[in-house]
Amino acid sequence: MDITVVYEVQHSIAFGPLIVLYFFLAGLSAGLFLLSSLSAVFGWQQMRPLAKPLSALALAAIIPGGLSLLVDLGQPLRALYLFTTFNPLSVMSWGSYILLAYSTLTAVYAWLVWRDDSRQKAWGWAGIIAAVALGLYTGVLLAVAPGHPLWNSAVVPVLFLVSGVVAALSLLSVYQALPFGAPVPKTAADDALHSLKVLFVALELVLIAAHLIILGLIGSSGADVAKHLVTGARQVSFIGVQLVLGTFIPLAIVAFAHRSGAALGIAGLLSLVGVMALRYNFVIAGQELPSQGTLLNILEGSGAVWAYTAALLALTVILGYAVPAFLGKYCGNAPASSTRGVA
């Protein structure tokens, strides 16, 4: 009698917390750049007081974002290989140059904005293209991966770009609510920005719902991933943290509650948690279900990996103070009131 023995092997997840952090910070930086351009490029005068701090924060976010990729490589010098060759058929190859172009354009743009240089508009247009490309690219990198139903969808790049703008609008609310330091100034555009956030959060929810519906329609593999998020092992982080705590509660505060600075600051902080949870759930949950067998793939992150992730988050906060302070000090045309830290 033939006996078939099936061995189940539990595999480890390739993309860990450092990649999640990169996706979060890249989207946040792109969103901050786009908000800054509303004044510097599109001439929305009510947004002018925010152009300088937002451009500085965009630069402050992308620096630790890029560092998270280098740390994740283990051997950072390997990154140089991506710039010595170019494969037009490789999404990662395109992404390397998009990240380099965006980082360079953001640095130049921030310098010009803080100096009130007339060239800021031309550089801003180039930066807008790079910011949109970067915001979409993080999702495209996942969307082209076969065998991962949660990733393999055209909805993912758009969702990542939209949620990046949500994160940027949320960070703005947090800084405006800070009772210490020199927060981002309040402006006449604040009410419009809060309404814009409601619109983008609603769009984010529509995209998530559409993605779940698509997963349910593509077959058993997609339905299994949807169940994994809604009723399975990711239920708490997806339903509880991402949707309830990080989306519905802050949306209710912004849309219906009294828009006091403290309330909006809390809503912004919760929204940032929600966007980070979105990145975490998509990246991690997208790798957890095995192609065969029943054992979930596991995240094997050493304590050092989580320590690096926490350190880079702390660096983001530090640079939020240091970058605008640096620009304020060395940009001769910057008004005195803009030389203080804003993050």
CATH number at residue 296: 1.20.1630.10
Structural domain includes residue 131: yes
Does the residue 111 lie in any domain? yes
As for how many domains the chain has, the answer is: 1
Phi, psi dihedral angles at 223 (to 5 degrees): -65, -35
- Check residue 14 and give its pLDDT: 78
What pLDDT, on a 0 to 100 scale, did the predictor assign at position 79?
Answer: 66
> By the 8 A CB rule, do 266 and 178 touch?
no
Q: What is the mean pLDDT of the chain?
A: 86
Whether residue 54 contacts residue 342, with contact meaning beta carbons closer than 8 Å, is answered with no
Angle between helices 120-143 and 91-114 (to 10 degrees): 150
The torsion of the CA quartet 153, 271, 133, 32, rounded to 10 degrees, works out to 170
Question: Looking at residue 339, what is its pLDDT?
Answer: 35
The whole-angstrom separation of Cα 187 and Cα 102 is 27
Q: How many helices and strands in the chain, by DSSP H and E?
A: 12, 0
Each residue of 26-60: pLDDT tens digit?
A: 999 999 999 999 998 998 899 899 999 999 999 99
7 within domain boundaries:
no
Domain span holding position 227: 17-338
Of the pLDDT bands very low, low, confident and very high (cuts 50, 70, 90), residue 240 is very high
**In contact, 106 and 33? CB cutoff 8 Å:** yes
Q: Is the pLDDT of residue 70 over 50?
A: yes
pLDDT digits (tens, 9 = 90+) for 22-32: 999 999 999 99
Can you tell me the mean pLDDT for 195-204?
94
Between 99 and 148, the more confident residue is 99
Say if 109 falls within a structural domain.
yes
| 321 in any annotated domain | yes
Euclidean distance between the first and final Cα of the chain, in Å?
71
Q: Is 12 among the domain residues? A: no
Distance CA 340, CA 183 (A): 9
Domain contains 273:
yes
Distances in whole angstroms, Cα of residue 230 to Cα of each of 20, 240, 290: 20, 10, 18
d(CA 269, CA 176): 12
Residue 251 has pLDDT above 60, yes or no: yes
Tell me whether residue 1 is in a domain: no
The reported pTM is: 0.90
